[in-house]
Amino acid sequence: MFADHFSSVAARYATYRPHYPRELVAILAERCTEHAVAWDAGCGSGQLSVALADRFAQVIATDPSQAQLDAAERHPGVCYRRASAEVSGLAPASVDLAVAAQAAHWFDWPAYVAEVARVARPGALAALASYGILELAGDANAVFDDFYHRVVGPLWPPERVHVENHYRDLRWPWPTVAAPALAMTASWTRDELCGYVTTWSATARLVAQQGTAELDAFAARLAAVWPEAAPRQIRWPLTLVLARVPDRR
């Protein structure tokens, strides 16, 4: 059993969720001592999994949602498996990188930490990545913030607080590994931004409870301050929480 917020929007999730920057993959790979196997827990539709395949011989990408896995981008270096983060099915001491991107806030945190401890090789890197509330220029940012906080704010699941407080309370019990400040960027049209908003768990709740009126109103307000078809730059601050799994022998 798991809190399934995204199976109903799996196709849109695959289309509209942003992809992680190459710099993030480089940061993770450079802090790993070996590059045989990376485990991407809560992989969704593979936004990070495919990027990791450039630096690791094999990427095992797990998610409990079959709908998410069915919509994931295929890559010869990525093996998708239906499994939870807490019970991965991986062999003990088998991975060089255990990472969860925009997913750890949904996990049973103590159980996930125990699973990482079980499957990580001595000296492996344990990593969390999360992107915060997006930023864009001008009046469009105010329209976006109003929708995020006022319209769907009461509908966010409680776990969303971990994203908003930058994973302050999700800390590994192992030595910290330093990571530089990093942001994720994209050049999006207004329609792409609206598509992204439809992938939120809070928006899915809104539509299920009230229909699409508020979502349509948001799109109209956004169009009023962003009338052109040309894309604009979008920015998400990234949170990275890294640690080194010790040798338990």
What pLDDT, in 10s, does the model give residues 17-72?
Answer: 889 999 999 999 999 999 999 999 999 999 999 999 999 999 999 999 999 999 99
Residue 165's identity, in one-letter code, is: N
When divided into structural domains, the chain yields a total of: 1
Residue 233's identity, in one-letter code, is: Q
Kindly give the interhelix angle for 213-225 and 139-146, rounded to the nearest 10 degrees.
170
Cβ contacts of 213-217, under 8 Å, gap ≥ 24: 214/147, 214/151
Of the pLDDT bands very low, low, confident and very high (cuts 50, 70, 90), residue 16 is confident
How many whole angstroms separate alpha carbon 97 and alpha carbon 59?
9
Q: Residue 9, SS3?
A: helix
**Residue 173 maps to a domain:** yes
- Positive or negative, the CA dihedral 26, 27, 29, 31 is positive
**Residue 117 maps to a domain:** yes
**Residue 249 maps to a domain:** no
* Structural domain containing residue 230: 7-244
Q: What is the pLDDT of residues 186-195, one digit of tens each?
A: 999 999 999 9
CATH of the domain at 130: 3.40.50.150
